[in-house]
């Protein structure tokens, strides 16, 4: 027996959350691989990104089938629209995590400036929290939780700019400066992951209220 429209939509919603959990795990593992210079873990993140890409395509195809066959309206249409937008953000977050993991595979530097590492770890913690909250907001359709994403994003942005200032003050040999360049990239990738998490929050707020103003909750 063919599943009902709402059963199929429910399955797609579950698939998004599964995809989100893989992305969330990849972000955490990418940061760990970079800080520990763990090439094996980095390879796992890069390989797992292929799974994220496959899930992205499967969910998009499922949404297209429902749109063509059922012509949903109101909240059901908003749910499908939210899912389609979310998987774009999740897929890009997965790519950014893979980019961080790729950096972890580059030659190591043995004398890391502890101040920079501490700031990077603090920023990574905030970004990972953002990702987790954005997924919980979708799972619970919690608009109030989406508003907390903006509150977390601001300090993560401040840490990013603080890191850039710290990198700008570094002076040393070629090995140190090459390391600094890769860490600037890794910090930028984290900053972009945070932006995507906040964008997911915007889509969830719109899903809940149907108010287009909720698509601009970020200053």
Query: Does 210 map to a domain?
Result: yes
Number of domains in the chain: 1
> In this predicted model, what pLDDT tens digit does every residue of 46-104 receive, in sequence order?
999 999 999 999 999 999 999 998 888 889 999 999 999 999 999 999 999 999 999 99
> In this predicted model, what pLDDT tens digit does every residue of 189-215 receive, in sequence order?
999 999 999 999 999 999 998 887 766
Q: What average pLDDT does the segment 105-128 reach?
A: 87
Measured CA to CA in angstroms, residue 112 lies from 94, 105, 167, 182 at distances of 26, 16, 12, 12
Q: What average pLDDT does the segment 4-20 reach?
A: 95
Q: Exposed, middle or buried by CB within 10 Å (0-12, 13-18, 19+), for 73?
A: exposed
- Report percent pLDDT > 70 for the chain: 95
* pLDDT number for residue 110: 67
Task: Categorize the per-residue pLDDT at 109 as very low, low, confident or very high, splitting at 50, 70 and 90.
Answer: low
Query: Does 63 map to a domain?
Result: yes
Task: Categorize the per-residue pLDDT at 218 as very low, low, confident or very high, splitting at 50, 70 and 90.
Answer: very low
Q: Average model confidence (pLDDT) for the chain?
A: 91
Show Cβ contacts of residue 216 under 8 Å, excluding neighbours closer than 6 positions.
202
Spatial distance between the Cα atoms of 55 and 102, rounded to a whole number of angstroms? 21
Q: Phi/psi at 110 (nearest 5 deg)?
A: -85, -15
Query: What CATH number corresponds to the domain at position 122?
Result: 1.20.58.220
Query: Does 163 map to a domain?
Result: yes
Query: Is the confidence at residue 1, as pLDDT, over 80?
Result: no
Half-sphere exposure of 119 (CA within 13 A, CB side): 23
Query: Is the confidence at residue 120, as pLDDT, over 90?
Result: yes
Instruction: Give the residue numbers spanning the domain of 78.
Output: 5-214
Query: Does 219 map to a domain?
Result: no
Query: Does 132 map to a domain?
Result: yes
Alpha helical stretches, state H, the chain: 5-36, 39-70, 74-104, 114-140, 143-168, 174-209
Helix (H) / strand (E) containing 99: helix 74-104
What pTM, to 2 d.p., does this model score?
A: 0.93
Query: Does 135 map to a domain?
Result: yes
Spatial distance between the Cα atoms of 136 and 113, rounded to a whole number of angstroms? 35
Name the 3-class secondary structure at 176: helix
Query: Does 64 map to a domain?
Result: yes
């Amino acid at each position: 027996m063919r599943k009902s429209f709402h059963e199929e939509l429910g399955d797609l919603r579950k698939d998004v959350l599964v995809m989100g959990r893989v992305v969330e795990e990849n972000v955490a593992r990418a940061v760990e691989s970079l800080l520990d210079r763990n090439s094996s873990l980095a390879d796992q993140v890069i390989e797992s990104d292929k799974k994220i890409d496959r899930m992205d395509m499967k969910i998009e195809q499922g949404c297209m089938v429902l749109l063509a066959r059922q012509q949903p309206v109101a909240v059901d249409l908003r749910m499908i629209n939210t899912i389609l937008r979310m998987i774009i953000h999740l897929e890009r977050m997965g790519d950014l995590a893979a980019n961080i993991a790729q950096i972890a595979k580059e030659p190591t530097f043995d004398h890391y400036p502890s101040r920079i590492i501490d700031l990077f770890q603090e920023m990574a913690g905030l970004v990972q929290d953002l990702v987790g909250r954005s997924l919980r907001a979708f799972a619970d359709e919690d608009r109030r939780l989406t508003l907390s994403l903006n509150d977390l994003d601001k300090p993560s942005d401040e840490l990013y700019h603080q890191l850039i200032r710290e990198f700008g003050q570094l002076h040393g040999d070629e090995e140190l400066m090459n390391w600094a360049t890769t860490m600037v990239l890794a910090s930028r990738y984290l900053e972009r992951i945070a932006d995507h998490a906040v964008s997911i929050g915007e889509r969830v707020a719109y899903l809940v209220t149907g108010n287009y103003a909720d698509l601009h909750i970020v200053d």
